[in-house]
Amino acid sequence: MKYDMQIIVRSLGKNFGAQKVFKNLNFELSDGQSLAITGPNGSGKTTLVRVYSYIGLVGPYLELYEELTALENLRFFARMRGIKDAFNRSMNLLQRLGLDGRGDDPVKNYSSGMRQRLKYVFALLHEPHVLILDEPTSNLDVQGVNTVYGIMTEQKKDKILILATNDQADVKYGDQQIAVGP
């Protein structure tokens, strides 16, 4: 299904008590555009990207059920979201993300890089129109980074990509850039 989607943000700010995390952020994104969010640690990048039916999200704070296998986790997630043909999509995404043959392994046996790859499978399972990536290449080896860059390139062709990063190699995938902070 093709959507024509636009995200418009005007004068967005966030406080935690008296502490201002960011203020007066403005940006617009339409299909085929992307945005890189930069700023020092603690500046509000992660706070800004924590938003969710048309959205897929990958971030270091997302947790998986350690005792379940990857496929059991994916099956649970698919049921929660009402995703049809989840098994075939899961198998295709596991293969694409370099986890082919590892779907029946408990997540507790995954390395940090494998967990990061699995988070992409979760984020892409429902074919989101908006993909939000927080530290998109953290814990990934060269092959994983290249796979993620391919996903980012594909997403920004006709959908929306938002990434929060301090890695300049990642920033180049944002057509626009905003810096957050007080």
Per-residue pLDDT for the chain (182 aa), expressed as one digit of tens each? 566 888 888 888 888 888 888 888 899 988 999 999 998 988 888 888 777 667 888 988 888 999 999 999 999 999 988 888 899 999 999 999 999 999 999 999 999 999 999 999 999 999 999 999 999 999 999 999 999 999 999 999 999 999 999 999 999 999 999 988 77
Give residue 42's pLDDT: 84
CA pair distance 120, 6, nearest whole angstrom:
23
* pTM listed for this prediction: 0.81
Domains, the chain, with CATH or none: 21-179 (3.40.50.300)
Looking at the DSSP bridge assignments, the partners of residue 12 are 25
Long-range contact pairs involving 87-94 (C-beta distance under 8 Å, separation at least 24): 89/125, 90/121, 90/125, 93/120, 93/121, 93/124, 93/125, 94/70, 94/121
